[in-house]
A and B are shown apart, each in its own frame.
Chain A
Amino acid sequence: MATSSERSPPPFPEDLEPEPDEVGDQDSDDGEDIFLGTDNPLEIKMDPSLSASDITSSTKPLSEASSPPVMDLLSEPASEASSAPMVDLLMEPASEGSSAPMVDLLMEPASEASSAPMMNLLMEPASEASSAPMMNLLMEPASDDLKEPPKPDIDPLADIINDTPLSEGKTPVAAMPQEPPSDLFDDEPSELFAEPRQSNTAKQQQTSIFDEPDEDLFSEPLGEASKKPQNDFFKEALAPVAKASNVCGPLSDNYNEQPTDIFTEEAITTLPSAVSTVSVNSKTNGVHSDEEEPDIFAEATVELSLDSPRNDRKKKEAAKPSASASAPAPSVSASASKPQPKTLEEVQYITLEEEVEDKFELNISITNPEKVGDGMNAYMAYKVSTQTTLPMFRSKTFTVRRRFSDFLGLYEKLSDKHTLNGYIVPPPPEKSIMGMTKVKVGKEDNSSAEFVERRRAALERYLQRVVFHPSLLQDPDVREFLERDDMPRAHNTQALSGAGFLKMINRATDSLSKMTIKMNESDVWFEEKLQEVEAEDQQLRKLHIMVDSLVGHRKELSVNTGGFAKSVAMLGSSEDNTALSRALSQLAEVEDKMEQLHQEQAASDSFCFAELLADYIRLLGSVRASFDQRMKTWQRWQDAQNMLQKKRETEAKLLWANKPDKLQQAKDDITEWEAKVTQYERDFDRVSATVRKEVLRFEKEKARDFKKQIIKYLESLLQSQQQLIKYWEAFLPEAKAIA
C-alpha cells in the first residue's frame, strides 16, 4: 500500500477538472487502493456517464418509480461542469450541504436512469457526515457500471479492471451491464433499508452475488469499528473522506480552509446529538435513528462508509471470476487503517475533529462556590469537576477545589507559554475588587450572590474554552489544574502586588513598542483580519454597553412594576366594590409575578447576552495579542536581518582595511546571524501559520458560541413571554367578573 501512502499526502493533485485520461493514470497508480481508485472516477466520470445513462435504457423503468423528492432533485438545475458538484460537496459547510450537492452530483450522471432509486436511498442519510463517503462510493461504481457497457474502453474502467487480477474481467461486467447497477439499487434498498421500493426490474439472480458483500458489510467492519477507540474510528472514517477530497482536490488555494469547514461543521451536526459516548456504533445509531429509517439503516450507513467500496468492488469482482474477490478487502482496510501519511492539513482536520469530540469526552463543570475564611483574607473556592474518557487523565471523574487566583495563575502560565507561539489563549474573567469586597464583607444580599454566580459561570466558560483548545488541552499545566489536589498557591495574580505592577509596566512598554513598530504587511489576510477584529471589538463594546443599559432598564422596570403591584394592592384594599377590589388585588398579584418575570429576564439578559459579549470582548483582546505576537516575531526577524546587514558591512570594511585577525570573528558573527535570521524567519512563518489557524478556529467557535447563546437567550425571552401570557390569561376572567 505504498502507493496509497504516497497518494494521500499534500500534493493536492490539481485535477479539479481532470479529464478521464488523467483519472486513468491515477487509478493505475493506485493499484488496488480502492478508496482512491474508485473515488476518483466518481466526479470525473460524470460526463461520460451522463451520456451513458441515456444508453442504459433497460433501467429506465426505475426512474418512474422514484419518489417525489427525487423528482425535485432531478428537476434541480445541475448544469455545472462535471467537477463542480464535487467542489460543492467540499465547500458546502452547512449540514444540508453535504448531501444535497452530492445528490446533485448523482443526478447528473444518470438523470433519468437507474440511479434514481439510489438517490432515494441516499436521500435518507442526507446530512450525515458519515454518509458522504458512502454516497461517494455507492454512487461511483454505479456510474462505472452504467458507463461501462456503452463505452467499455473508457480509461478508468479499464484501469480498474486492470488492477484487479483478471484483466479480462471487463467482459463479464460488460456482459451484464444493467444488472449490477439495478441490483445495486434494488437489492440494497430492499435489504439494507428494508424498504421495498419500486418495481423490481432487477434480476434476482444477482442476490447471490450481493449476499456476499452484504455479509461482509455487517460482520467485518462492525467488529473492526467497535474494537477501536472512538478517535481511531473517527480518523479512520475521516481518512477516506479526507483522502477523497484530497484526490479530487479542488485547485483553490483555500482548499485547506474549506475542508476544515466541512468536517467540523459536519461533526458539529452529527456529534452533539450523540451524547452517549460509548462506542462509535451506538453513537451513529443514535444519530440515525432520529431519522425515519430504523436501525438497519443506521448501521448500514456507518458500515457502508467504510466498506461499500469494497462491497461494490466485490460485486464487480464477483461478476468476474471470484478468485480475486478477497484481494481488495485488505487493501481497503489497509488504506483505512493507515491514515498516518496525512498531509498537514489533514492532521489539522483531525485535531479539529478530535477537539469537537472532546466536548463530549471532557466535561467540566464548576459548582459550589464557597466562601473560605473571613474578613479581607476570605476568598471564594469553586469545585471544579471533570468528567472525561480521555486516556491522558488518570481517572474518569475527578474533582478539585480551586480559588479564583488559581484560575488567573493558570492563565498566566498558559499565556506565557502559548502566546509566544501565536496561540489565542482564552482569558479568564477579570478581577473585580468591588464585587469581591462585597462578598468578603459578607453581605448576603442579592448583588453579591449574583456576582458569585456570574463569576462561577464565567470561570466555567473560561475553563471550557481552555480544554476545548486542542493544543492547550495537551498542556501539562491544564492537566495539573484539573487533576492535582493540592495546587500550589498562584502568585503574582494580585492586582496590587509588586508583580502586578511590573506587569503593568511591561504592558505599557509593550504597547509603546507596538506603536513604534511599523510593519509593512506582506499578507493582506492578516491586515484585513486585524481590521475586522478591531472593528468588531468596537462594535461589541458598544453592544455590551447597550445590553448593560437594557439590563439596567429592565431591572428598573422590575422595581417599578413591584412598586405598582404594591400600590395596586393597597388600592384594591380600599376599593369598596367587592368585585373590583378583588380584581385589583388580582392585578396586583399579576404585577407581582410580572416583577419576578422582569427580574428573571434581566438576569438572563445579563447572563446569556451581556456575559457572552464580555467574554468575546476579552477574547478579542487575546486575538489581538496573537496578532501582536506575530508582529513582534516579525520585528525580531527584521532586527536580525538588519544586524546581519551590519555584520556584513563590518566584514567588508575589515576586508578593505585588511585586518585578517578580526575577519574571522566577523565571519563567525555572520554565520551566527545568518542562522538567527533563518531561525527567526521560520519562527515568523510558524507564528503566522498558527495565528491564521487560530483565528479561523476562533471564528468558528465564535459563530457556534454566538448561535448557541443567541438561541438560549431567545428561548429565555420566549419563556418569559409564555409566562406572561399565562398570567394575563388567568387574570382576564377576573377582570370580566367585575360587575
Chain B
Amino acid sequence: MRQEEQNGGCFQKIANIARLAAQHDDLQRCCTFIIMTSTLDDSEKEKARSVSVDLNNDASLLIDIPDALCERDKVKFTVHTKTTLSSFQKPDFSVPRQHEDFIWLHDALVETEDYAGLIIPPAPPKPDFESPREKMHKLGEGEATMTKEEYTKMKQELEAEYLAVFKKTVQVHEVFLQRLSSHPILSKDRNFQIFLEYDQDLSVRRKNAKETFGSFFKNMVKSADEVIISGIKEVDDFFEQEKTFLLDYSSKIKDSTARAEKMTRSHKNVADDYIHISATLNSLSVDDNTALKKHLEKFADLFEKLRKVEGRVASDEELKLTELFRYYMLDIQAAKDLLYRRARALADYENSNKALDKARLKSKDITQAEEHQQQCLQKFDKLSESGKRELTSFKGRRVVAFRKNLIEMSELEIKHAKNNMALLQGCIELLKSN
C-alpha cells in the first residue's frame, strides 16, 4: 500500500515536472527521463496533428492544452484559447478543465438536436494510469529479485511509460477540442464557447448511479431501436452503402485495434527483457576474470542500447498504429451514430406518413399530421444532406490520416532498424577485432 502511495507520489512528481516542462516549453532543462521522452512528445504532437489532419487551421480560433496536472486520478488540463472571434470577450485566455468537463461537452453536443446531422467528434477516452501504476506496483514487489541497476532501469522505463500515457491523454483531449474548433458549425456552439471561456470551475457533476443506469438503458434502447429500424428500406444508395461499409469497417477496425495493442504490448515486453538481460550480463561480466569479461561488457552494453531502440519501436508503433486505429474506431462509432440518427429520422418520417394516411382515412387532424409529416421530412432531408457532407469529409480525413501515419511509421521503423543495425555492426566488429 505504502509502495503504491509512493509510486503515486512519484508519478505525480513526474507529472509536475512534465507540467513544468510544458509550461516553460523547455524540455531539455528537465530530468533525464523528460529528455528521453521529449522526442516522444514531438512525435505525439505530430500524431495529434495527423489525426486531425484535415482541420482547416483557421486562425480565428486556436486551442491548445499547454499544461496539465495529474492529481491522483484526476487530470487537470489548462485549455488555452486564442481567438479573433468577436463572440469571445478576450482574444487570449486560459481555463482549467477536467476530463469530466470534456465528457459533459461531448454529451451536450450529442444531445443537441441541431447537430444530429453531424459527426460529433468522439469524446476523449478516460485517462488510464492503471496499467503503469499496476506495473510499478509489481515492480516494487519484485525489487528483491533484481539488481539495483536493473530496478532503476525498470523504474525509469515505467516512469517514461507513465509520462507517455500522460502526454497521450493530453493530446487526445487537445485533439477533441481542435476538431470542434475547426468545425464550421460546432465551433459556434454555445456550450463549446462556455467551455472555453468560463474561467471558473465548470463543476460538472459526475453522473450518479441513476444517470449511469439511465444512459445504459438509453444505449440498450438505441441498439434495440437500431435493430428495429434496420428493417426500413433505405431510400438513398449512398447511405445504404455507407451503412454496410461502416458496420463492417467498425467491427474490423475494432479487431485491428485490439490486436495492434496486443502486438505493441508484447513488443514492449521484448524491450523489457532486454533490460534484464543486459543487467544480468553486466553482473556476469563483473564476476568474470577471463578474456570474456570485455566481451560480456560489450554485449551487455549493446543490449542496453538495443532495448532503448526496441522500446522506441514499440512506442512508435503504438503511437502511429494503435492510436490511429483507436481514434478511427471511435470516429467511426460517431459516424455510425450519425447514421442511426438519420435512420431514426427516416423511420419517424415513414411513421408520420403512415399517420398522415391514417388521418386522411379518418379525416381527422389531417393538417396536424401533414405538418408533422412535413417536419419529419424536412428533418430527414436536412440530416441526409449534412450527413452526406460529413461522411464524405470523414472519408477524406480518414484516408489522409492513414496515409500520413503509415508513412511515418514505416519511416520510423526503417530509422530504428538502421539504428539497430549500426549498433549491432559496431558490436560485431568490436568483438571480432578483439
Question: Which residues of A pack against B, CB within 8 Å?
Answer: 93-94, 532, 535-536, 539-540, 542-543, 546-547, 549-550, 553-554, 556-557, 560-561, 563-564, 567-568, 570-571, 574-577, 579-580, 583-584, 587, 699-700, 702-703, 706-707, 710-711, 714-715, 717-718, 721-722, 724-725, 728-729, 731-732, 735-736, 738-739
Contacts and interface: CB of A to CB of B under 8 A. Distances in A.
B431 A711 contact: yes
A711 B281 CA distance: 15
Given A532-B288, A570-B252, A718-B425, 13 more contacts: A542-B280, A557-B263, A563-B263, A567-B255, A570-B256, A571-B255, A574-B249, A583-B403, A706-B292, A706-B296, A711-B428, A731-B410, A732-B411
A571 B328 CA distance: 12
B248 interface: yes
Contacts of B253: 571
25 contacts: A536-B287, A539-B280, A543-B284, A546-B273, A549-B273, A550-B277, A553-B273, A557-B269, A561-B263, A564-B262, A571-B252, A571-B253, A583-B402, A587-B406, A702-B292, A706-B292, A707-B292, A714-B302, A714-B427, A717-B306, A718-B424, A718-B425, A735-B407, A736-B407, A738-B406
A553 B292 contact: no
A579 B277 CA distance: 43
Contacts of A542: 280
B195 interface: no
A335 B336 CA distance: 96
B260 A714 contact: no
B414 interface: yes
B295 A710 contact: yes
Contacts of A547: 277
Contact of A707 (B267, B306, B411, B431): B431
- Ranked nearest first, the 5 interchain pairs of A and B with the lowest CB-CB distance are A738-B403, A550-B273, A735-B406, A557-B266, A564-B259
B102 interface: no
Contacts of A543: 277, 280-281, 284
Interface string B200-212: 0000000000000
Interface of B: 245, 248-249, 252-253, 255-256, 259-260, 262-263, 265-267, 269-270, 273-274, 276-277, 280-281, 283-284, 287-292, 295-296, 299, 302, 306, 395, 398-399, 402-403, 406-407, 410-411, 413-414, 417-418, 420-421, 424-425, 427-428, 431-432, 434
Contacts of B431: 707, 710-711, 714
A571 B277 CA distance: 37
Contacts of A567: 252, 255-256, 259-260
Nearest to B277: A546
A532 B293 CA distance: 13
B255 A94 contact: no
Contacts of B289: 532
Contacts of B417: 721-722, 724-725, 728
Contact of B263 (A564, A571, A577): A564
Given A574-B249, A710-B299, A718-B421, A729 B414 contact: yes
Interface of B is mostly: helix
Contact of B406 (A536, A560, A583, A702): A583
A661 to B, nearest CB: 61
Contacts of B399: 577, 579-580, 738-739
B269 A536 contact: no
Nearest to A556: B266
Interface centre among B295, B413, B427 (most CB of A within 10 A): B413
A738 B265 CA distance: 28
A539 B406 contact: no
Contacts, number: 164
A575 B421 CA distance: 35
Nearest to A575: B249
Given A546-B277, A577-B395, A725 B428 contact: no
Contacts of A736: 403, 407
A699 B290 contact: yes
Contacts of B280: 539, 542-543, 546
Contacts of A739: 399, 403
Given A577-B395, A738-B402, A563 B262 contact: yes
- B263, B265, B290, B411: residue with the most chain A Cβ atoms closer than 10 Å: B263
A563 B252 contact: no
A707 to B, nearest CB: 5
Given A561-B263, A718-B424, A735-B406, A706 B252 contact: no
B255 A570 contact: yes
Contacts of A700: 290-291
B307 to A, nearest CB: 11
A703 B256 contact: no
Contacts of B267: 557
Contact of A94 (B269, B283, B290, B434): B434
Nearest to B313: A724
A726 B421 CA distance: 12
A563 to B, nearest CB: 5
Contacts of B284: 536, 539-540, 543
Given A543-B281, A574-B248, A574-B249, A550 B274 contact: yes
Contacts of A556: 266, 269
Q: Which residue of B260, B265, B434 has the most chain A CB atoms within 10 A of its CB atom?
A: B260
Contact of A732 (B248, B265, B407): B407
Contacts of B283: 539
Contacts of A715: 424, 428
A576 B431 CA distance: 52
Contacts of B295: 703, 706-707, 710
Contacts of A718: 421, 424-425, 428
Given A543-B281, A577-B395, A703-B291, A732 B414 contact: yes
B430 to A, nearest CB: 10
B407 A574 contact: no
Given A571-B252, A571-B253, A532 B287 contact: yes
A560 B270 contact: no
A2 B383 CA distance: 115
A471 to B, nearest CB: 21
A307 to B, nearest CB: 33
A567 B253 CA distance: 8
A700 B402 CA distance: 55
B299 A721 contact: no
Nearest to B274: A550
A732 to B, nearest CB: 5
A583 B398 CA distance: 13
B352 to A, nearest CB: 33
Contacts of B398: 577, 580
A735 B403 contact: yes
Contacts of B306: 717
A528 to B, nearest CB: 9
Nearest to B257: A567
Name the residue among A567, A583, A725 with the largest chain B CB count within 10 angstroms: A567
A294 B248 CA distance: 72
A415 to B, nearest CB: 25
A598 to B, nearest CB: 9
B259 A563 contact: yes
A319 B273 CA distance: 72
A539 to B, nearest CB: 4
Given A543-B280, A706-B295, A576 B259 contact: no
A536 B255 CA distance: 46
Nearest to A705: B292
B414 A725 contact: yes
B410 A728 contact: yes
B265 to A, nearest CB: 8
B256 A571 contact: yes
B269 A724 contact: no
Nearest to B276: A546
Contacts of B290: 699-700, 702-703
A728 B410 CA distance: 6
A550 B256 contact: no
B334 to A, nearest CB: 18
